[in-house]
Amino acid sequence: MRASEEHVEGAPAQITAMQGGWLKFLLGSFTVQDVILLVYLTVVRLLLAQRHATADQVSCARTTELCIGVIFGAVLIGRVIPGIPPLVRKIVYRVSIVGVLLQNYLVLRWLLPVVRPDSVDGTLLRIDEAIFGREPALVLEAFNVRPVVEWFSFFYFSYFLIGATYMIVGVWLTKPSRRTTAFAIGTLLVFGIGQLGYMAVPGYGPHQYLAQQFKGPINGGFFWGCVWDTVQAGSAMKDIFPSLHTAVPTWFTLHALHNAKTDRRWRWPALVTGFFAANIIFSTVFLRWHYAIDVLVGLTLAFTAGTLAPIIARREEEWRLARGLRGAWVFD
């Protein structure tokens, strides 16, 4: 009887130890950046589940499920399965994170009409008119001359180069540290919240909704042609609120400024990125892609990420070190 009692009394302690082991395993395997991406993908999948099964709905659902699987696979290969060379862990994890982020943008062209087939351009226009008296995109048509259009088209197009450059530097070339974690957290917050914003507030933008109110088309040349062709080939079409053309380069600027506080080498990148960001922000309205409210919310998103990302990265690092867990970017 006593042996039986000892067995029963010891069971809760064993269960607690097992639970603690599993909890440490999960916390050691998944980082904040992984969780942000998985939460975004899960929300998207739940939104798709509420829609009728069409060819696009099924395709987007499968793509989202595949992305979830890729992230789980990247975590397993990067931090869990033993015997894998560190270089392989590093490459697989980084390629998976960046690849899933890119794929989730590219699929928006089909996903957004499935999740929200309507648009709220009229509401966004009324907000702009309430704030500014008249839609800024219509006012700026007075400067629709080729030199001005080409200047801002160049900067609008540079968004893609800036994004690629920061991804390469922030994820691949920078020595893994708290900065890398902050960059990943901030970038995933901006894109995740921004793309959910597209689904919550769908719209086509002034170039389409106000097409009849403009006196003529954009008077552009080579760079405007590059912008137009790129948008037609890869844009999600209803991706305006918030403006990620505003939020992303602004967030990159804030990230560079934060790094420059402790590393002078980041000062020039911060200044150059800030100059490009300012021109890109203006171009989004001037080239008729966005309402001004899209820009204001994009700036809010960027500054929110700029404030939270370093704090979250620091606290995660401290928390993991205190519990003997590996850093978010340590794959040895």
**The one-letter amino acid at 26:** L
**pLDDT at residue 217, rounded to an integer:** 94
The residue ranges of every structural domain in the chain are 119-322
**pLDDT at residue 271, rounded to an integer:** 97
Question: Residues 35-42: what's their mean pLDDT?
Answer: 97
State how far the Cα of 188 lies from the Cα of 194, in Å rounded to an integer.
Answer: 9
Question: Residues 50-70: what's their mean pLDDT?
Answer: 96
pLDDT digits (tens, 9 = 90+) for 269-295: 999 999 999 999 999 999 999 999 999
Among 14-23, 164-173, 315-324, the least confident range = 14-23
Among 12-26, 120-134, 221-235, 289-303, the least confident range = 12-26
**pLDDT at residue 236, rounded to an integer:** 72
- Specify the higher pLDDT residue, 11 or 213: 213
φ/ψ (deg, to 5) at 239: -100, 75
pLDDT of residue 122 exceeding 70, the answer is yes
φ/ψ (deg, to 5) at 236: -80, -5
Q: Is the pTM of this model over 0.95?
A: no
State how far the Cα of 177 lies from the Cα of 196, in Å rounded to an integer.
Answer: 29
**pLDDT at residue 37, rounded to an integer:** 97
State how far the Cα of 110 lies from the Cα of 226, in Å rounded to an integer.
Answer: 22
Cα-to-chain-centroid distance, residue 332: 27
Question: Residues 196-200: what's their mean pLDDT?
Answer: 96
**Structural contact between residues 277 and 303, judged by C-beta atoms closer than 8 angstroms:** no
State how far the Cα of 176 lies from the Cα of 2, in Å rounded to an integer.
Answer: 55
φ/ψ (deg, to 5) at 160: -70, -40
pLDDT of residue 23 exceeding 50, the answer is yes
Convert the chain into a string of H (helix), E (strand) and C (coil).
CHHHHHHHHHHHHHHHHHHHHHHHHHHHHCCHHHHHHHHHHHHHHHHHHCCCCCHHHHHHHHHHHHHHHHHHHHHHHHHHCCCCCHHHHHHHHHHHHHHHHHHHHHCHHHHHHHHCCCCCHHHHHHHHHHHHCCCHHHHHHHHCCHHHHHHHHHHHHHHHHHHHHHHHHHHHHCCCCHHHHHHHHHHHHHHHHHHHHHHHCCCCCHHHHCHHHCCCCCCCCHHHHHHHHHHHHHCCCCCCCCCHHHHHHHHHHHHHHHHHCCCHHHHHHHHHHHHHHHHHHHHHHHCCCCCHHHHHHHHHHHHHHHHHHHHHHHHHHHHHHHCCCCCCCCCC
pLDDT digits (tens, 9 = 90+) for 213-265: 999 999 999 999 999 998 888 777 889 999 999 999 999 999 999 999 999 99
pLDDT of residue 25 exceeding 80, the answer is no
Question: Residues 143-167: what's their mean pLDDT?
Answer: 96
pLDDT of residue 312 exceeding 50, the answer is yes
**pLDDT at residue 4, rounded to an integer:** 43
Instruction: State percent of the chain over pLDDT 90.
Output: 80
State how far the Cα of 77 lies from the Cα of 196, in Å rounded to an integer.
Answer: 29
